[in-house]
Structure 1
Amino acid sequence: MKKAELVFIPAPGMSHLVSTVEVAKLLVDRDERLSITFLIMKLRSYSKIDSFIDSVSAASIRFRFIDLPEDEPDPNNPDNALFSFVETQKPYIKEEVSKLVSLSQSSPDSPTLVGLVLDMFCTPMIEVANEFGVPSYIFLTSGATLLGLLFHIQALHGEQKVDPMEFKDSGAELVVPCLANPYPVKVLPSFLLNKEGLSIALAQARRFRESNGIIVNTFEDLESRAINSFSNGNTPPVYPVGPMLNLNRDGDRDVESDKFKDIRQWLDDQPLSSVVYLCFGSRGSFGVDQVKEIACGLEQSGHRFLWSLRPPQPKEMGFGVEIKMDYRKEVNSDGNDDIVSAGEIERGVRCLMELDNEKRERLKEMSGKSRKAVESGGTSSTWLVVELGFGVEIKMDYRREFFYDGNENIVSAGELERGIRCLMELGEEKVESLKEMSEK
C-alpha cells in the first residue's frame, strides 16, 4: 500500500511541541508506512527548541521538521496575541501543505497526505485542511475534563443564552456532564470569566466541533467519566492517548549540569516526606508582593521546600516576549542569592522521581490519589479539598490573570503558614487513611 503522511502543527513554544512529538512517536510506532511532517511556528529562535528538534530528527528518519518564517505577535493586543499570531501563519501553512499535496500527486513514491493534526490553539488551520480535502484532528494537551467544560459552557451560552460572567461573584453552581459534582462558577478558569477570554473559548469550542476528531492527552482510568461524557454523538470522536511524557529528555542538555546535580543531591539528603514542592505550571507566576508572602509563609511553617519560581509576564509585553527584569534581585532584596531557577528545579525533581525506585513508588501512590480526585469531580485542586479531604484549603477562589497588570489579590503569609502546617502535620490516622485510599 502507498505510504501515508500526517502534518502536525504544534503551537509555538516548547511544552506543546514536546507533547506533540510524543503523540507522533506513538503513531509511527504503530504503522511503518506512516511519516510525519511538523510545521514549526516560531516567535523567535529558541536554542532549546532547536536542540530538541535536532535530537528528535536524529532519532527518527520518518520525522521531518519545517521551520516557518519567523514573525512577531501583535504588541497592541496582548490578550489575543497567540491566536492572532497563529492566524498570520495560515498562508505559510497553506503553502507548505500545497507543496506536499503537489509532490504526492506528481510522484508515485511520495506519501499521500492523509490529515492535519492541529494543536488546540491552531484551530484556524481547520480551514486549510478543508481546502485540501483532508481530515483535521485537534490535539488537546490538557485533559478531557477541560474539553467537557468548554463544550458545556458553549452549549449553555449558545442554546440557553447563559453567560457565566453574570454569576462569577455569586454562589451559583454548574451541573457539568463531565463532572460528578456541581461546579462553582466562582472557581471557573479566569479566561471564562472575562469578555474577551470567554469569546475566544467559545470560538475554540465551536471549531473543535468542526474537526474530524479530538486527540486528548489523558487516559481512560484517569478521566473515565469525562471521556464517557462524549459518547452521546454531539461531539467529534475523542481519542485518549496519554499520558504523553518525554521521559528520555530529548534535547535536554542541562540534566548533567552542576546545578542540577546539586538539586538532586539535596533532595536525596532530605528525610522522606519532608519537602514541600511548589510549582504553578509553565505559565504560573506571582507579583513580588505575593512572592514575598509565600516565602514568609514557607519560612514560618518550618518545613523544607523547593519552589519553581518564575517571573510574571507584564501585560504590555505581550505573548512570547522575553522578560528582561531582574526578578531575583527584585524579590530577594536582601541580596542573598539562594533562589533556584524554575528549569533547574523542574529537571531535578523530574529526574529524581523517574530514577529513584523509592521515590517512583511514592509517585505511583500520588497518581492513585489524583485518579480518585478526577473521578470524584475533575482535575481542579478544588476537588482535592472538597471531595476527598486530602488537600488543604488556603484560598479556594484565588485567581490570577495570565498577564501581570500590577493588580493582585494577596494571600497572606499567615494563611499560607496555616495551610502548610496543616498539610504537613496531618495526624497519623489521616495519613494512613489517605494511603489506603490511594491503593484501592
Structure 2
Amino acid sequence: MAKTVTELVFIPAPGVGHIMSTMEMAKVLVNRDQRLSITVLLINPPYSILALNTYIESLAKNTIERIRFIELPQDQTPPKLDSKAPFMSFYEFIKSHCKYVRNILEDMIDQSGSCRVVGLVVDILCTSMIDVANEFNVPSYVYFTSNAAFLGFKVHFETLYVDQKQDLMELANSEGEIVIPSFVNPVPMRVFPELYQKQDGLDFLICAIGRMRKAKGIMVNTFLENKTELETHAINWFSGTNFPPLYPVGPLLNLDGVAGKADDTDVFRWLDNQPRASVVLLCFGSMGCFDEAQLKEIARGLERSGHRFVWSVRRPPPLEQSFEVLPDDYDDPRVVLPDGFLERTSRVGKVIGWAPQVSLLAHEAVGGFVSHCGWNSMLESLWFGVPTATLPIYCEQQMNAFEMVVDLGLAVDLKLDYKINVINPEGDMVIVMADEIERGIRSVMEDNEVRAKVKEMSKMSRASVVEGSSSYTSVGYLIKDMMRNIIYV
C-alpha cells in the first residue's frame, strides 16, 4: 500500500444531511487514492439533533481507514442564533470557529513527517473558513450538497446584485416567472425559497457565493452520465461562466442510513408481506413536521387513496424552541390523527416516528414516495427507482421539486409551492387539502410514464459511479488537481 503523503481537511456544516453527504465524499476520495488522508473537523450544532449525534457516535465506533475526526471547541458564549436573521446569525456561529480551525491548520502544517495539507474542503454554509485557508496558502474547495441547478440560481442572483446592481428583494418578491439560466424552464416565483425572499437570506447568498469564487473547485452531488442525463443543462451553463470549475461527483449516498430503532423490525416485517411496489412511503426529513390540521388532511387523503402506506409522523418542537430543537416522535400519534384512522387503516398502513428512509426506499414493496424534496432524498429516490410526489417544506426544496417535475419529468406534482417557515412557524399556514393529497398519491403510484423514466434514471445513477463512468472520471480529475497543490504548501 502506498504511503499517505497528502492530507485534506473537511469542514461540514452541523446538519444531518450535510455531514452524511460530506462523509460519503470523503470516503470516495480515500478509496480512490491511497496517498490521501482526511481530517474532518466537526462543529457541534447550536441546537439538539438526536439523529446527528447518533450518526457521529456511529462514525467514532466504526473506524474508517485514513479518515480521522476532530471535534472543534465551542466558545463559552457562542453567537446567539436569531430567528429573525437565521442565515447571518448561523454564519456568525460558524465564523466563531475560525480561530480553532486556524490553530489546527497551523499545527498540521508545522508538523514534521510525510503528510502535506493540499486542500480545505468546506460546506456552502462554512465558506467563512476559506479566508482561514488563504492565510496559509492552502487551496480551498467547496462541497455543495444540493444540485447544480440550485447552485446556478445562487450564482445568477449574486451576479445580478454585484454586476447589474439589481434590487434582489424586489426581484425575489415579484410575481410571475423568472429566467434562471441553470434551469431549463422559467421558474415561477411561487416556488422561490421563502428564506431568500428576506434580506437576511439574500445577504448570506451574496456573502457565500462571493467567497466561493475564491475556491479552486466546486464538488456537486449530481451526475452527468453520457452527457445526456439529470443536470446536463445546468452543468453546461456553468462551463460558460467564470465561476470555479464544477466537479459532478454524485450520486453520493449514505446507503447504510442511520442506525434504526428496535421497533423498526415491525415495519419491515409488515413490508415483507406486501406486494411489490404497492406501498407509498411518506417521509419529510430531519426538520419535516406538520401541525395537527395538516396531519389530518394527509391522513384523510391517504385513507381515500386506498393505497398501502408507511407514514413517518413527527411532532413539531415547542413554538418558542422552533429554531433550537428539531422534531421528535409522538408518544401516541392518535392525539393528532382523525378519530379511528389508525384502526381503520391497520391492515393497509403503518404510522411510525423517525424513519430509516434509505432502508425503506430500498424495500421492494415500496413503490412511491411523498417527500419534502431535500436533494439527498431526491437522489435516493432515483437510486432505488422509486418515483416521488413533491411536498416541499423549506429552503431550496420548492426549486428541487420544480426541477424534478417540470425540467426533468422525474417526479409528480403533489404541490410544488407548499412552504412552512420552520424557523418562525407562527402565522397563517396554507393547508394542502385531502383531495390534493389523494390525487398526488394516486398519481405517484399509478403514473407509469414517470415510473418508467425514474427506473431508467436509476440505472444511469448507478452507472455514473462505476469505474470509467462520468462521476468516477470527474473525481479522478479532482484528485489530480488536488495533488498539484502540494507544490504550494
Name the CA distance, whole Å, in 2 between partners of 1:402 and 1:94.
33
> Which residue does 2:353 correspond to in 1?
341
Say if 2:241 is the partner of 1:230: no
Name the CA distance, whole Å, in 2 between partners of 1:436 and 1:129.
43
Alignment of 1:210-359 (within 5 A): 210-221=214-225, 222-249=230-257, 252-254=258-260, 258-313=262-317, 316-317=320-321, 319-321=323-325, 328=332, 330-332=335-337, 339-344=351-356, 346=357, 348-352=359-363
Alignment of 1:35-54 (within 5 A): 35-43=37-45, 47-54=53-60
Name the CA distance, whole Å, in 2 between partners of 1:114 and 1:21.
18
The number of residues matched between the two structures is 413
Name the CA distance, whole Å, in 2 between partners of 1:247 and 1:146.
24
> Which residue does 2:90 correspond to in 1?
82
SS of equivalent to 1:380: helix
The one-letter code of the counterpart of 1:20 is T
Q: Is the 8 A contact 1:314 1:405 kept in 2?
A: no
Say if 2:417 is the partner of 1:397: yes
Alignment of 1:116-127 (within 5 A): 116-127=120-131
The one-letter code of the counterpart of 2:80 is D
Cα deviation, 1:370-398, whole Å, max 9, x if unaligned, reads 9xxxxxxx973235554577755444322
Cα deviation, 1:303-356, whole Å, max 9, x if unaligned, reads 222223333346642645355795755524869697411234x25404526999
> Which residue does 2:163 correspond to in 1?
159
Answer with 113-122 or 346-355: which moved more: 346-355
> Which residue does 1:373 correspond to in 2?
none
**Residues 85 and 354 of structure 1: CA distance in aligned 2, closer, same or farther (over 3 Å):** farther
Name the CA distance, whole Å, in 1 between partners of 2:440 and 2:200.
34
Alignment of 1:87-126 (within 5 A): 87-103=95-111, 107=112, 109-126=113-130
Of the three residues 25, 29, 32, the one matched with 1:23 is 25
Query: Please, what is the CA RMSD of the aligned residues?
Result: 3.5
**Residues 167 and 98 of structure 1: CA distance in aligned 2, closer, same or farther (over 3 Å):** closer
Question: Which structure 1 residue ranges, 5 or more long, are not aligned?
Answer: 357-361, 371-377
> Which residue does 1:416 correspond to in 2?
437
**Residues 314 and 368 of structure 1: CA distance in aligned 2, closer, same or farther (over 3 Å):** closer
Q: Is the 8 A contact 1:140 1:215 kept in 2?
A: yes
TM-score (norm 1): 0.82
Answer with 294-303 or 322-331: which moved more: 322-331
Name the CA distance, whole Å, in 2 between partners of 1:263 and 1:30.
37
Q: CA deviation at 1:68?
A: 1.1
SS of equivalent to 2:161: helix
Of the three residues 171, 194, 209, the one matched with 2:213 is 209
**Residues 90 and 265 of structure 1: CA distance in aligned 2, closer, same or farther (over 3 Å):** same
**Residues 324 and 200 of structure 1: CA distance in aligned 2, closer, same or farther (over 3 Å):** same
> Which residue does 2:385 correspond to in 1?
366
Percent of aligned pairs sharing the same letter: 40
Name the CA distance, whole Å, in 1 between partners of 2:399 and 2:361.
21
Name the CA distance, whole Å, in 1 between partners of 2:164 and 2:284.
35
Q: CA deviation at 1:300?
A: 2.3
**Residues 404 and 272 of structure 1: CA distance in aligned 2, closer, same or farther (over 3 Å):** farther
**Residues 355 and 438 of structure 1: CA distance in aligned 2, closer, same or farther (over 3 Å):** closer
Cα deviation, 1:61-85, whole Å, max 9, x if unaligned, reads x111111114556144462343222
Q: CA deviation at 1:369?
A: 9.8
Q: CA deviation at 1:413?
A: 1.9
Q: Is the 8 A contact 1:36 1:63 kept in 2?
A: yes
The one-letter code of the counterpart of 1:341 is G
Of the three residues 411, 422, 435, the one matched with 2:452 is 435
Name the CA distance, whole Å, in 2 between partners of 1:237 and 1:340.
43
Q: Is the 8 A contact 1:215 1:239 kept in 2?
A: yes
Q: CA deviation at 1:404?
A: 4.5
The one-letter code of the counterpart of 2:308 is R
**Residues 127 and 316 of structure 1: CA distance in aligned 2, closer, same or farther (over 3 Å):** farther
SS of equivalent to 1:199: helix
The one-letter code of the counterpart of 2:100 is Y
Question: Which structure 2 residue ranges, 5 or more long, are not aligned?
Answer: 344-349, 368-380, 390-397, 458-489
SS of equivalent to 1:83: helix
TM-score (norm 2): 0.74
Name the CA distance, whole Å, in 2 between partners of 1:231 and 1:22.
25
SS of equivalent to 1:117: strand
